[in-house]
Amino acid sequence: MHLQGCDASVLLNDTASFTGEQGALPNAGSIRGFGVIDNIKAQVEAICKQTVSCADILAVAARDSVVALGGPSWKVLLGRRDSTTASLSQANSDLPAPSFDLANLTAAFAKKGLSRTDLVALSGAHTIGLAQCKNFRAHIYNDTNVNAAFATLRKGSCPSASGNGGGNLAALDTTTSTTFDNAYYSNLLVQSGLLHSDQQLFNGGATDSLVRTYAATPTCFNKDFAAAMIRMGNISPLTGSQGQVRLTCSKEPRKLLYSMIYDHLPLNYTHSRSVALGHTVYSEFQADTTEIAADRDKHVQVTDLMVCMLAMASSVSVLLVLMCTAAVASAQLSPTFYDTSCPNALSTIKSAVTAAVNKENRMGASLLRLHFHDCFGCDASVLLADIPGSFTGEQGALPNAGSIRGFDVIANIKSQVEAICKQTVSCADILAVAARDSVVALGGPSWTVPLGRRDSTTASLSLANSDLPPPFFNLSNLIGAFSNKGFTATEMVTLSGAHTIGDAQCKNFRDHIYNDTDINPAFATSLQANCPRPTGSGDTNLAPLDTSTPYAFDNAYYSNLLSQKGLLHSDQELFNGGSTDNTVRNFASNPAAFSSAFAAAMVKMGNLSPLTGSQGQIRLTCSKVN
């Protein structure tokens, strides 16, 4: 795992003047495969000089290693660049140790924006590879949650004395040690996890049920492993002009040489490096070779090189070094997805959104909310209308009923786009772009929207009821709900800033203005006039979420929280003596910091488990399946 991001920092060798990450305690004697990566890099350099980064080579090699051992495949997002430094201290502090208990593991993964489900799914990488005696000695000799026969077997090659046989190896998965499958979880059920940290996943704690599920359902494990890899692959890659493309993966080119090379490249060479990851960054190096018609021999050569990783993939350490650079379902998303198939799609959407917002300012918030409520899945499922007697969608879910609107605007946009590009642009992508354009129309930041989502053919009322955070959630509930989707507490506060625009119904803030104590009395009184106490009286009466600038996308929402003027209970929870107070203060005083963070969080939210490739469909009408 790269600590600064998915940037190949772990490949940098120590020198007399530089100390990298390879000597960190979790890495020393554990990570290997550098020779294979060097060989791949040399062969790629021979066909594409200083074009393909070491970070991207790692990403593709990781995917192909899993496939070579019988595991799932995925398309790999490309366009990473290589770091110019590394951090020994971060590697020592951030990488989870084999001695970690469940609380430590959960916290370590949460620090990187990964949920408990991600933790358990990614730990399934231990279905292949080996571990050293020094890393499991304490477990087999001292722990009580280990199968006695299994412990005795392992003791045969791992003496109890520290320093004796510390480098001896044992398979992490004794059942199918060179096959990528779900046997790892079956081993945990019978207390045959090799590491202390492995068995912690099934030890009477919060992750037991998930281990049982993965042990019983291999397809579920593969699906969740893929979803977790999406989030792992999005950990702070360097793109655009950040970092560099190393000539040799193990060392940074001299600054002068790097400058000389790039100062003499044609402008379109550097311009071709996308500032966001996409899967068409390299014209002669793509993850999915089936998409390439020209230069097929070159692609076969590069792809065959990745099979070299099979020889090394029996060591789980190789996979763990590579894992964070891989992306899965979002790999097909690209800002240029419609450049050829529907070049006027984005301008058509923008014009329609601008017209709708100019007609009714509130519509900007409504379109943004539609995207939010869709994007704990980003597949336009929220747009599917109920069909009495045969289909119940998500629009009637408690967090949605009477709250989401703007369906007619989306339908209008869809009809305009269909008129120029028949069944090409998905409703899910229209929602994502319309949300961005709504924010911009109301004075907020812009961001590049990755495209290529497809539309679902179903919806889930129960998931909408369970996954969408309601207005009565406290801070702990909010953090948990967002963490389940891979978001940090800071990202939760950031996305809550969308409440700088739009309205809420009386029924959603009645309890807050009458019963809570963390509310400005004058503010509460002003709202009570339009929101009577009796339930059922004035339930749908509206009040602005941001009373200062209700139709301007700015940072006033956070300033309101500082003076206890959050409209919803869940709003004021962000500034109520808890762990997010400092983030609220920062955004209240620094609008640029909020805008930047919001844009980044929106891109991340838009990448939550989209349907891509041949999944789902492109609906002709957004409110119904084809």
Alpha carbons 567 and 241: distance in angstroms, whole number? 42
Residue 469 labelled as part of a binding site: yes
Would you give the DSSP letter of residue 544? E
The two structure tokens encoding residue 570: 């869940």
- Residue 496 annotated as binding site: no
Q: Is 488 annotated as a binding residue?
A: no
DSSP state of 130: E
For residue 449, the one-letter residue type is V
CA R_g for the chain? 26
Known binding residue 554? Answer is yes
Give the distance from CA 428 to its chain's centroid: 18
Tell whether 348 is in a known binding site: no
Amino acid at site 104: N
373 catalytic? Reply is yes
Which secondary-structure segment (H or E) carries 525? helix 521-528
User: Is 394 annotated as ligand-binding?
Assistant: yes
Q: Is 526 annotated as a binding residue?
A: no
Tokens of residue 248, six digits: 């040799």
CA triplet 294, 297, 299: central angle to 5 degrees?
A: 80
Residue 248 β-bridge partners: 251
- 166 vs 152: CA distance, rounded Å: 17
Of these residues, 126, 279, 373, 512, which one is catalytic? 373
- Give me the DSSP letters along 456-511: -S---HHHHHHHSPPTT--HHHHHHHHHTTT--HHHHHHHHGGGGS-EEEHHHHHH
SS3 of residue 82 by DSSP: strand
- Rounded CA-CA distance 345/47 in Å is 36
Type of residue at 62: A
Phi, psi (deg, nearest 5) at residue 77? -70, 135
- 525 known member of a binding site: no
C-alpha span between 320 and 10 (Å, rounded): 11
Round to whole Å and give the CA distance between 487 and 111.
10
**Longest alpha-carbon distance in the chain:** 77
Burial class (CB in 10 A: 0-12, 13-18, 19+), 174: middle
Find out whether 334 is annotated in a ligand binding site: no
Can you read off the two tokens belonging to residue 481?
């709900």
Q: Which residue has the tokens 């070491």?
A: 54
Indicate which residues carry an active-site annotation.
373
Annotated binding-site residues for heme b read: 499
Annotated binding-site residues for Ca(2+) read: 374, 377, 379, 381, 394, 500, 546, 549, 554
Annotated binding-site residues read: 374, 377, 379, 381, 394, 469, 499-500, 546, 549, 554
Annotated binding-site residues for substrate read: 469
